Chains A and B, each alone.
Chain A
Amino acid sequence: MRLGPDHKLYIATGVVGALAAALLWAAVRLTQAAEGGDNAIAALVMVWLFVTAMAYASLRPMVDLFVRAPAALAEETRIVVRDSKRRLSPAGSVELQLLAETVNELAERRQSLEGDVAAEIARAQATLEADRNRLAVLMAELRQSVVVCNLDGRILLYNQRAREVLSAGAGSELVGLGRSLYAVFERTLIAHALDQVGRLLRKGEESPATEFVTTTPAGRLLRVHLAPVSGHVDHDTGEVAMTGFVLLLDDITTTFEKEAKRDTLIQSLTEGSRGPLGNIRAAAEMLNNYPDMENEQRARFLAVIRNEVEGLSGRVEQSAKAYAKELSARWKLEEMRGADLVAFALVRVAQRCQIPVKDEEIDDGVWMRVESFSFLQVLCYLTTRLRDEYGVSEVRLSLSSDGDHACLDLGWLGTAINSETVMNWEIEPMRSAGEETPLSVREVLDRCNGEMWFQRKRASHRAAFRFLLPLAQPPEQRAGKVGPQRGSRPEYYDFDLFRNSARSHALDDRLLSELDYTVFDTETTGLEPSNGDEIIQIGATRIVNRRLLTHEVFDQLIDPRRTLPEASVKIHGITPEMLVGQPGIGNVLPAFRAFCADTVLVAHNAAFDMRFLQLKEASTGVVFDAPVLDTLLLSAVLHPNQESHRLEAIAERLGVIITGRHTALGDAYVTGEVFLKMIPLLEEMGIRTLAEARAAAEKTYYARVKY
Chain B
Amino acid sequence: MSKKILIADDEQNIVISVEFLMRREGYEVSVAGDGEAALERIRADKPDLVLLDVMMPKKNGFDVCQEVRADPAFAAMRILMLTARGRDTEVAKGLALGADGYMTKPFSTKELVDKVRELLA
Contact = CB atoms under 8 A, between A and B. Distances in A.
A278 B96 CA distance: 25
Contacts of B106: 274, 277-282
A404 B67 contact: no
A393 B23 CA distance: 53
Given A301-B17, A307-B13, A453-B93, 5 more contacts: A279-B13, A283-B13, A290-B20, A304-B13, A405-B88
Interface string A444-474: 0000011101010000000000101010000
A468 B92 contact: yes
B6 to A, nearest CB: 17
B86 interface: yes
Interface residues of A, number: 37
A398 B106 CA distance: 36
A402 B92 contact: yes
Contact of B109 (A270, A282, A450): A282
B: interface residue count bin: 20 to 34
A328 interface: no
A304 B13 CA distance: 6
A278 B92 CA distance: 21
Interface of A: 270-271, 274-283, 285-286, 289-290, 293, 297, 300-301, 304, 307-308, 402, 404-405, 419-420, 423, 449-451, 453, 455, 466, 468, 470
B114 to A, nearest CB: 13
A271 B89 CA distance: 14
A286 B86 contact: no
A271 B18 contact: no
Contact of B16 (A271, A276, A304, A453): A304
A546 B90 CA distance: 61
Interface in B86-121: 86-90, 92-93, 96-97, 104-110
B17 A419 contact: no
A468 B90 CA distance: 9
B11 interface: yes
A304 B84 CA distance: 17
Contacts of A283: 13, 16-17
A451 B87 CA distance: 10
B92 A290 contact: no
A451 B109 contact: no
B16 A419 contact: no
A415 B85 CA distance: 32
Contacts of A404: 88, 92
Contacts of A453: 62, 66, 93, 96-97
Contacts of A282: 14, 17-18, 21, 106, 109
B81 to A, nearest CB: 13
Nearest to A416: B70
Contacts of B20: 286, 290, 293, 297, 301
